[in-house]
Every structure is written in structure tokens, then in C-alpha cells.
Amino acid sequence: MTAPLCAQDYAELARARLDPAIWAWLESGGADERTARANIDAWPALQLRGRALRPLAGAHTRLELNGQALAHPILIAPTAWHGLVHPDGETATSLAAAATGTPYILSAQSGTAIETLAALPEPPLLWFQLYAQRRREDTLALATRALQAGARALVLTVDAPVNGVRNAEQRSGFRVPDTIRSVHLDGLSPPAARPAPPGGSPLFGSGLLESAPTWDDVAWLRDRLPAGTPLWLKGILDPEDALLALAHGVDGLIVSNHGGRCLDTLPATCDALPAVAQAVAGRIPLLVDGGIRRGTDILKALALGARGVLIGRPVLHALAAGGAPALAHLVQVLRGELEVAMALTGCRTLGDIGPGVLWVPGQAA
């Protein structure tokens, strides 16, 4: 291959370099992987409305999110254990994020502590993702630790109270090596699972759901966070859940199906986003992830109501291919593609991007 030019080039490089079981872990979706594929296929299926001769002088991709000024609308999605794909792990991700002005949503399942990343000479803008823990106090302790280390927002992931059925990963024999630890979770009490009785109820008999989080836990956490802490929920696909999130004082939503890794046959995020945007009606900002691989995908996400996008697997692909420089290059590539797409649809700023950039056969007027 010539030097990588786009996200798919990085995916191919990563596939060639990584151990097949690690590739299966990072790439696979749930069950028959229909949602994972739908995420990838849905954005390119939308067509764009090219516009000519619109004024483009002074064009930029700046925005404000949580009161933070950002240079572009691309964020790094939380993904576990970057040390599996590159020896520098989350440090490499942080360097690339800082170099490109990209917010990095650090996973609570990272192998590097948030304090270590925040102490880098040039730390990135860090947000922190967490799952509700079995004990509410542990969730609050995690959140407090992240905020004290400098996290500028918290992201509570709500679409994975249990693991999805991940057959491709199971077939690969993937195991997390002993060298990789989830450093933020050490010492917290894990979900209290008990072996299901033979022939008994496999999940419901396991006790795992006795501590599954509910909206009450969101309200409990919201009430205990310092005033002004932005709290986002990640993994909302349904407009009714979006309205519940609003009612529980959440500051932003990430429309996501976990990259298709949890419940298979959920809709593509591209297809779910418009109804969530309609329900929320601009009251809180939306981000979206799942299958974002091109600048045109980003433009379409913004056209359908998102303020920005997260990239998940492409980050791991670039890290595997070449660490921090490769990831920084990938972000610049996506940003450049977005700028080309904006210029050719006549959009000078992100605010100019609306449903009007989408081609509706017979309706362009």
C-alpha cells in the first residue's frame, strides 16, 4: 500500500499487523454483526446536495461544546485497553489528541490512569467515560477522581449493563492478557455474579441484573456532582429515552449503539439520530458515533442534528498502524475531508450544515 490516505487504509494496515484475536476483539460486532455493518453502510447511502459558487471566504470548523472551544467536531470515543494495539497505549492516543485539538473521552477501562495522561507536558482535553458500578458510591468515587484529575466532562455509558453476544470474539479465543489492567477499576467491587444453576436461567439466574443501573442512579449521580459538571449519557438511540435523559438533568447525549457490539439488529445510528434530534429539539447537544469513516459521514451526522462525532475503531486502527503520529494524521485526514465536503456543499461554518445539504430526489428546491 502507498502511504495511508483514509480511514479504511488504516483499517487494512491494522488488520495486517495485529494478532487475529486482538483484531476480532476490536473489530467484531454483536451476534451476526448486522448493526455493526449497518452503521458503516448507512452514512454513505445518504446522498449530498452539491452547491456551486457559494461564498466560502473565512470558512472554519470551530464550535463550542460544554462551554469549551473546539477547533473541529471530531472526538475520540472511549475504547478499552489501547495497550492491546500499541505499546504506548493511551499515552499515544493522548499525544495525538493534544496535537490535533481533539477531545479524548478516556474509557474507565483504560490501561493508563487519567492522572498520568493529565500530567503529560501537553495533555489533551480529557473527558472521562464510566459505567455505573455495582455500588453507587463507587461510581461517584470514579467520577470524583476523574474530575479531580482534570476531566472536563463525564460520559456515563448506558447501553451495556451486560455484555453483548460477541460470537466473532468468542471464536477467536480472545483473552485480555495479564499485562493489561483496567487501572481505574482496581479495588472497586465488581458485579456480583453467581454461576447459574445447571439448566437454569443463564443471565437472569446469575444475579448480575440485581445491580443493573436505572434512571434513579443517573439522578443520584447528577445530584452529587459539583455544580456545572457536564454529564453526558452515551448509548441513547430512542427518543423516549432522550426525553427521560432531559428530565433527569443530563447535559448532552451521545447517540450510539456501542459500535454494534451490544444488541444486534439495533438500527444504524445514522437512522436513529433524526428522531432523537427531533425529540430533544436543541435543548441539549447531541453527539453521534458508529461507522464514521469519512468527512462526508461527519457532514451528514451534523446535517441530521449532531453537534459532533466520535470515532472508535478507526482510532485503534491508526494506533496499531503507527501510534501517535498515525492517529494524528488520521484525525487531520478526517478533518480535511470534512472541510472539502463543507466547501462543495456550500457550507462556510458548521452552523451552515443542516438538512438542506442532503439530497432528497425530486425535492431540491
- C-alpha grid cell, residue 311: 470515532
Q: Assess 289 for contact with ligand FNR (CB under 6 A).
A: yes
- The residues, ordered by sequence, that sit 6+ positions from 318 with a Cβ below 8 Å of its Cβ are 10, 14, 96, 326, 327, 329, 330
| Closest to 23 measured CA to CA, from 319, 242, 293 | 319
Which residues, numbered 183-202, are part of the site for ligand FNR (CB under 6 A)? Answer: none
Pairing of strands 68-70, 63-65: antiparallel
Minimal distance in Å, beta carbon 268 to ligand FNR?
Answer: 10
DSSP secondary structure code for residue 234 in this structure: E
Could you confirm whether 258 is annotated as catalytic? yes
CB of 140 to ligand FNR, least distance (A): 18
Given candidates 35, 91, 94, 107, which one binds ligand FNR under the rule CB under 6 A? Answer: 107
Which residues, other chains included, contact 227 with Cβ-Cβ below 8 Å and sequence gap of 6+? none
Task: Tell me whether residue 231 or residue 347 sits nearer to ligand FNR (CB atom).
Answer: 231
Give the active site residue among 72, 184, 258, 317: 258
Least distance (Å) between residue 152 CB and ligand FNR = 17
Site for ligand FNR in 244-263 (CB under 6 A): 256, 258-259, 261
Q: Kindly state whether residue 139 participates in binding ligand FNR, applying the rule CB under 6 A.
A: no
Name the residue whose CB lies closest to ligand FNR: 312
The DSSP secondary structure of 269-306, one letter per residue, reads HHHHHHHHHHHHTTSS-EEEESS--SHHHHHHHHHTT-
Q: Which residues inside 24-53 make contact with ligand FNR, applying CB under 6 A? A: 26, 39
Indicate whether 78 belongs to the interface with ligand FNR (CB under 6 A). Answer: yes
Smallest separation (angstroms) from ligand FNR to the CB of 348: 27
Pick the binder of ligand FNR from 111, 290, 295, 346 (CB under 6 A). Answer: 290
94/328 Cα distance (integer angstroms): 10
User: Which of residues 18, 65, 77, 233 is near ligand FNR by CB under 6 A?
Assistant: 77
- CB-based contact 324:87 (threshold 8 Å): no
Q: Of the two residues 130 and 149, which places its CB atom closer to ligand FNR in the complex?
A: 130
The C-alpha atoms of residue 347 and residue 355 are separated, in whole angstroms, by 12
Neighbours of 44 (CB within 10 A): 14
Return the closest-CA partner of residue 153 out of 36, 70, 62: 70
Binding part of the chain for ligand FNR, among 43-51, 141-149, 285-293, 330-338 by CB under 6 A, reads 285-293
Residues catalogued as catalytic: 258
Residues near ligand FNR (CB under 6 A) are: 26, 39, 77-80, 107, 109, 129, 157, 234, 256, 258-259, 261, 289-292, 311-313
